[in-house]
């Protein structure tokens, strides 16, 4: 096992008696590079601005129908140097992939190549209006078309809807296409089956589209209970939503059998593609009988998560669902030019269920994802899946001797390893382990999800970590887990070294303060 820290630092270098290395209090509350930062509204002023604009006589003639805004808006400004400093200081209170290992299960926190950022900022992509005449945006339409081609070929599916804005929006797209397909043949079905291990967005999406959601149980080995699912199929079941690889980190080996049964019962198969990174370039969902699957470009195809978005969730569709795809979509004409099929193309739009967003989707994410695909190629993407799965299995097998791994006996995991808190003592929980990992310099894994495992810890290393980085993580993870197994009280107060100690979420919800007052 590698040394826990390769910089030369050793645990014995902690000087303070309590081992917490707090040192004397500082006057400012700052700790060297860790600088406290007030709220913008505490340091900005209404009359300060960081931009140079021509002085316009605001009291001059207007054509605003008298609807002026004489009262203060309540906004404040900073000069440019103050602005840069404010946000730079805030940024340093954040953990990102650029800083370290970020094994957040089901979120695929892989390295975000900087070429993608450079390409997305080319003026020919960044400074183009969505409603510009189509003859002037042929390159943009071609990007959408090319990316769609890649997605179809990588998934083995015949069609793709590019406009959904994020994974959950893509789920909605797929479910709406399913509802439209049923309705088109006068088949009013009411139920969508969702395994209990599913992402919360699955049932929320189905409910949003007015379906009744019914849970399907998992087997003890962490997969969909095929017998229970088959028993529930019938003329009222519109679709089954299955995540594959699933949220327990396992491949649903009976997926094809499930799909055939669903199809035989007149339903459709929605596959949540959040975990596509495990199989990209290696397995094509189209070969498994999928009718619709969203692809999170911000997971598998490395577009940055940006602290919570923007995402992008194109949806690949089977031949049965493709005619119902949302507007607009890009088509290529015989002369090689591209155009958008929109509302006005009454014949070509066919039975499309309509528009789900203004404009044409997350173009800025498309350019990044296409850049990523071109960089990797078919061979590189296959290697992505293999390395992601290898890394996850390595972690699983390096932890299972001390940490409860409920499905370790179910065979290899896919891109993520799932653990539970069964053997912790002294009232210690998964949350304490997560906070302990923060002190060790890691972003914690996904915790308390999936719900089928008590105190779940879902570790997804991705393929962009070196073996040395993974070994160091394993050393740290084992150390924290051993403290939890031993009932180490001190872990309950972690983190000690983060910009904040544990935050009171209960108080935040009881008396919500959602904006600055004053």
Partner 1 sequence: MRIPAKAGASGWLALYLNEVPAFAGTRNGNLKMRYLPLTDTDRTAMLAKIGAASVDDLFVDVPAVARLDGPISDLPMHASEMAVERHMQKLAAKNMVAGEVPFFLGAGAYRHHVPASVDAIIQRGEFLTAYTPYQPEIAQGTLQMLFEFQTQVARLYGCVVANASMYDGSTACWEAVAMATRVTRRSRAVLSGALHPHYAGVVRTMAKFTGDTIADALPAIQPEPDLEGLIARIDDDTACVVVQYPDILGRISDLAPVAEAAHARGALLVVVNTEPVALGACKSPGEMGADIVVGEGQSLGVGLQFGGPYLGLFAVRDPKHVRQMPGRLCGETQDAEGKRGFVLTLSTREQHIRREKATSNICTNSGLCALAFSVHMTLLGEAGLRQLAAENHRLACLAADRLARVPGVRVLNSAFFNEFTLILEGKPAREIVRDLADRSVLGGVSLGRLYGGIAALEHALLVAVTETTTEEDIERLACELEEAIK
Q: Which of residues 190-219 bind partner 1 (CB under 8 A)?
A: 199-201, 203-210, 213
Cα–Cα dist 25/43, whole Å:
24
Confirm if 197 and 248 have CB atoms less than 8 A apart.
yes
- Residue 62 CB, shortest distance to partner 1, in Å, is 6
Stretch (H or E) spanning 363: helix 363-399
Closest CB to partner 1 among residues 233, 290: 290
Rg (Cα) of the chain, in Å, rounded? 26
302: phi > 0 → left, psi -120 to 50 → alpha, else beta; which?
left
Selected from 95, 219, 426, 429, the binder of partner 1 by CB under 8 A is 95
- Residue 171 CB, shortest distance to partner 1, in Å, is 7
Ranges within 421-460 binding partner 1 (CB under 8 A): 434-435, 438, 443-444, 446, 449
- How far is CA 423 from each of CA 99, 186, 420, rounded to the nearest angstrom? 31, 53, 8
Selected from 5, 145, 429, 475, the binder of partner 1 by CB under 8 A is 145
Closest CB to partner 1 among residues 12, 346: 346
473 binds partner 1 (CB under 8 A): no
CB under 8 A: which stretch of 261-269, 303-311, 401-409, 416-424 binds partner 1?
A: 303-311
Selected from 21, 23, 235, 516, the binder of partner 1 by CB under 8 A is 516
Ranges within 5-24 binding partner 1 (CB under 8 A): none
SS3 315: strand
Closest CB to partner 1 among residues 10, 184: 184
Stretch (H or E) spanning 430: helix 430-439
- Residue 12 CB, shortest distance to partner 1, in Å, is 26
Selected from 20, 132, 184, 264, the binder of partner 1 by CB under 8 A is 132
Confirm if 285 and 293 have CB atoms less than 8 A apart.
yes
Cα–Cα dist 315/168, whole Å:
11
Closest CB to partner 1 among residues 148, 406: 148
Selected from 13, 15, 32, 509, the binder of partner 1 by CB under 8 A is 509
Selected from 10, 19, 21, 121, the binder of partner 1 by CB under 8 A is 121
Q: Which residues pair with 446 in a beta bridge?
A: 458
Torsion of CA 180, 183, 188, 189, to 10 degrees: -30
150 binds partner 1 (CB under 8 A): yes
Cα–Cα dist 406/400, whole Å:
9
Ranges within 365-384 binding partner 1 (CB under 8 A): 365, 367, 370-371, 374-384
SS3 133: coil
Ranges within 231-290 binding partner 1 (CB under 8 A): 250-251, 253, 255-256, 279, 281-284, 286-288
Residues in the chain: 518
Both structure tokens of 1: 């096992």
- Residue 273 CB, shortest distance to partner 1, in Å, is 14
């Amino acid at each position: 096992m590698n040394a826990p820290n390769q910089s030369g630092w050793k645990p014995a270098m902690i000087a303070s008696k309590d081992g917490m290395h707090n040192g004397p209090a500082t006057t400012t509350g700052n700790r060297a590079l860790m600088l406290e930062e007030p709220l913008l509204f505490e340091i900005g002023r209404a009359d300060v601005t960081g931009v140079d604009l021509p002085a316009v006589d605001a009291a001059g003639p207007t054509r605003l129908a008298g609807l002026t805004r004489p009262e203060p808006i309540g906004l404040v400004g900073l000069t440019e140097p103050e602005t840069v400093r404010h946000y730079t200081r805030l940024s340093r209170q954040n953990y990102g992939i650029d800083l370290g290992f970020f094994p957040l299960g089901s979120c695929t926190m892989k390295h975000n190549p900087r070429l993608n950022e450079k390409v997305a900022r080319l003026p020919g992509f960044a400074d183009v209006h969505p409603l510009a005449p189509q003859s002037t945006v042929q390159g943009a339409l071609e990007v959408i078309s090319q990316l769609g081609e890649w997605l179809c070929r990588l998934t083995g599916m015949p069609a793709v809807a590019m406009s959904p804005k994020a994974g959950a929006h893509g789920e909605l797209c797929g479910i709406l296409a399913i509802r439209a397909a049923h309705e088109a043949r006068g088949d009013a079905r009411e139920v969508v089956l969702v395994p209990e291990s599913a992402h919360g967005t699955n049932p929320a999406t189905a409910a949003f589209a007015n379906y009744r959601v019914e849970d399907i149980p998992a087997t003890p080995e962490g997969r969909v209970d095929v017998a229970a699912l088959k028993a529930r199929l019938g003329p009222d079941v519109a679709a089954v939503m299955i995540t594959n690889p699933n949220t327990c980190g396992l491949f649903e080996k009976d997926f094809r059998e499930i799909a055939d049964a669903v199809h035989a019962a007149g339903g459709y198969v929605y596959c949540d593609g959040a975990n596509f990174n495990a199989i990209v370039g290696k397995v094509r969902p189209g070969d498994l009988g999928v009718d619709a699957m969203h692809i999170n470009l911000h997971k598998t195809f490395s577009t940055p998560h940006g602290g919570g978005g923007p995402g992008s969730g194109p949806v690949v569709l089977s031949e049965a669902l493709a005619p119902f795809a949302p507007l607009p979509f890009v088509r290529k004409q015989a002369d090689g030019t591209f155009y958008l099929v929109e509302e006005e193309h009454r014949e070509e739009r066919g039975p499309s269920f309509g528009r789900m967003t203004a404009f044409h989707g997350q173009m800025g994410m498309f350019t990044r994802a296409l850049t990523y695909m071109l960089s990797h190629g078919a061979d590189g993407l296959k290697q992505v899946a293999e390395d992601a799965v290898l890394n996850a299995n390595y972690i699983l097998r390096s932890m299972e001797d001390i940490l409860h791994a409920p499905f370790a006996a179910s065979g290899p995991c896919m891109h993520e390893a799932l653990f539970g808190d069964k053997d912790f003592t002294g009232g210690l929980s998964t949350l304490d382990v997560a906070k302990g990992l923060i002190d060790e310099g890691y972003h914690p894994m996904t915790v308390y999800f999936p719900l089928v495992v008590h105190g779940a810890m879902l570790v997804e290393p991705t393929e962009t970590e070196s073996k040395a980085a993974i070994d160091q993580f394993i050393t740290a993870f084992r150390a924290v887990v051993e403290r939890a197994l031993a009932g180490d009280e001190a872990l309950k107060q972690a983190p000690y070294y983060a910009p904040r100690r544990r935050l009171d979420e209960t108080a935040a919800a009881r008396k919500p303060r959602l904006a600055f007052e004053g």
